[in-house]
Homo-oligomer: A and B are copies of this chain.
Amino acid sequence: MNKTVLAQINTIAGDITYNSKIIIESIKKAKEQNADLIIFPELALMGYPFGDIFIRHKSIIKRQLKALEEITSKTDGITALVGFVEPTYDSEKKPFYNSVAVMQNGKIINIARKRLLPNYSEFNDYRYFEPSKETPKIFELNGERYGILVCEDSFNDKSFFKDKCIYKTDPVAELMEQKPDILINCSCSPSRCGKEYIKNGLFSSIAKKYKVNYIYVNQAGYADNLCFDGTSRIYNTKGELTLRAKSFEEDFVITDNLHGEINSLPVGADKKFELVDFKSDYENDLDRTYKSIIFGIREYFKKNGFKKAVLGLSGGLDSSICAVLLSDALGKENVWGISMPSRITSNESKNDAKLLAENLGINFFEIPLADAIDPLKAMLNFAFTNIETEKFEKSTTIENLQARLRATLLWSISNEHKQMLPIATSDKSEAYIGYATVNGDMSGGFAPIADVTKTKLFALGHFFNKNRMQKNAIPQAILEKPPGAELKINPKTGKTVCAEEENMPYEFLDEIIWNVETKGFGFEELMKHKFYYEKNNTLSTEQKTEWINKFYWKSKCAVYKWHIIPPSVVVDVKSINSVEYRQPIISKVN
């Protein structure tokens, strides 16, 4: 059998010099180890996702083709499969194919062109590429016959997807007519909740159905809010997994016989996404979510030249989870937690923030806000005395002022440090209903948990306390108290107002979000749906209607904020991240 390398590399879109350097180094290493064949991911030379960059900057394509020539010249004694953007040179077609070049002894001996072009969620292939109408020719190497699939080409198997198939063509079936011994799937496939179970089932079932070996090579990396988990692998002709590369990191796997180490997956990632309810789904997704965000933070910081992060620590859930993630991703010495208590911040919150920082071993400082709030209020008071306003000290004004002042301090601190980014700590549940402050907690150079709902964050907190090397780093009180921004006092109770008083129970809100995103529910379906919350609480139809209406109304007003969420990591099945979903600010969805 051919000695084969799965080159699970990590590229940068448009950075042809960098990508070709990695590719050439990998080929060199493969040759040193006497490999016959080395397989790179889809679009390895261009890097993916690339947005519109080579449409607007045409010189990128020229540089890419020149680099492809150079790579080809390095393939003496080896066969290399490299994904690239191939001009069609045909004015009746779109300008490019999404192709994989087969290079051998200094020549391109074969080209496989992607046939199925996904154009949904985070995918926009058809915007850039011409779908190839031809089945790629198989190529032979030392008597073994190989057929090439480019990512989506493998995702339309009729026995597996049944009536869920979205294309007419089944490129696998057509490719198998040429009777290859081995299928190679070059991919750029982002990690999403529930996707690993589908991939494993699909690839295994194709291998078994056609009695063919199946090699899947996926890139590792992060860009544009998407995490690519790598997890390249091989199945034998019985559909059994015989090798699996690492998840959420680069890898270089060499095998003599299509067998090798089977690296472990994030815990639960191989489980079926049940589509029953939000809780049963995310329980199996906690470790994958954790690894995805950690990888995203690391990659974003490294590739943009940052090393350190500064975040506000309120003693609440969101900032605590962010602190753990940042600490694990960047190292505790690179994280600055700043407590910025106002006059109404409770001693408990201050202590919880401090205790968390001590547990994690991150840098910790306290800057009380009052010294700046008072002069600002005086300035505004002066202004409001002159400007006819509705009513000075409308609660939101002072609430937001506190949040914005905190962000201003964080940005100032990051200004003073080299390679430091301030962190936006707001979460997905808040984003949906706009319960986060522009220029406040939703402002930062990175937003680690912008696609994680509140109930999942609680579950993550417990998961961290149980499973991280250091147990119980998050003080128990943080996981027990009701979430709230501690921005104002309820005059009736004398206590700070918690978020659920102002909105609705997070458990209820998150189940709305889950049903809207995962099942496409509208108002009527939501009203009919039996919520978890209803199992343990009496809920009148009036209250249910009010909450669901509140969700739609608040979401409508929040769309503006969705458009300015800082860079984050998409982890859920669906998200409101602009990489995959765009709702115009002027629009109505219910």
Task: Please report the C-alpha to C-alpha distance between residue A15 and residue B556 in the assembled complex, in whole angstroms.
Answer: 12
Instruction: Give the contact stretch, choosing among A231-239, A400-408, A540-548.
Output: A400-408
- Residues in chain B near residue A120, CB distance under 8 A: 55, 127
- Residues in chain B near residue A587, CB distance under 8 A: 12-15, 47, 50-51, 53, 223
| Contact of B387 with A445 in the complex, beta carbons under 8 Å | no
Given known A59-B524, A120-B55, A163-B91, contact A382–B394 (CB-CB < 8 A) = no
- Residues in chain B near residue A271, CB distance under 8 A: none
Chain B minimum-CB-distance residue to A522:
B59
| Contact of A224 with B585 in the complex, beta carbons under 8 Å | yes
- Residue A276, interface by CB 8 Å: no
- Residue A502, interface by CB 8 Å: no
- Residues in chain B near residue A378, CB distance under 8 A: 371
Q: Which of B58, B367, B443, B520 contacts A520 (CB 8 A)?
A: B58
Contact digits for A88-125, partner B, Cβ 8 Å, 1 yes 0 no: 00011000000000000000000000000001100010
**A56 → B minimal CB distance (Å):** 6
Given known A418-B390, A520-B58, contact A407–B439 (CB-CB < 8 A) = yes
- Residues in chain B near residue A445, CB distance under 8 A: 560
Chain B minimum-CB-distance residue to A567:
B585
The listed residue with most B CB atoms (<10 A of its CB), out of A53, A375, A524, A585, is A585
- Residue A581, interface by CB 8 Å: yes
Instruction: Give the contact stretch, choosing among A186-194, A297-305, A346-354, A489-497.
Output: A297-305
Task: Please report the C-alpha to C-alpha distance between residue A52 and residue B120 in the assembled complex, in whole angstroms.
Answer: 9
| Contact of B383 with A585 in the complex, beta carbons under 8 Å | no
Q: Which of B51, B119, B390 contacts A417 (CB 8 A)?
A: B390
Could you show 29 A-B contacts with beta carbons less than 8 Å apart?
Answer: A12-B586, A13-B584, A13-B586, A18-B588, A47-B587, A49-B584, A51-B584, A56-B520, A56-B589, A57-B589, A60-B589, A91-B163, A127-B127, A223-B585, A223-B586, A338-B383, A367-B379, A371-B378, A375-B375, A384-B416, A389-B416, A389-B417, A390-B416, A392-B416, A394-B416, A397-B412, A401-B412, A404-B408, A408-B439
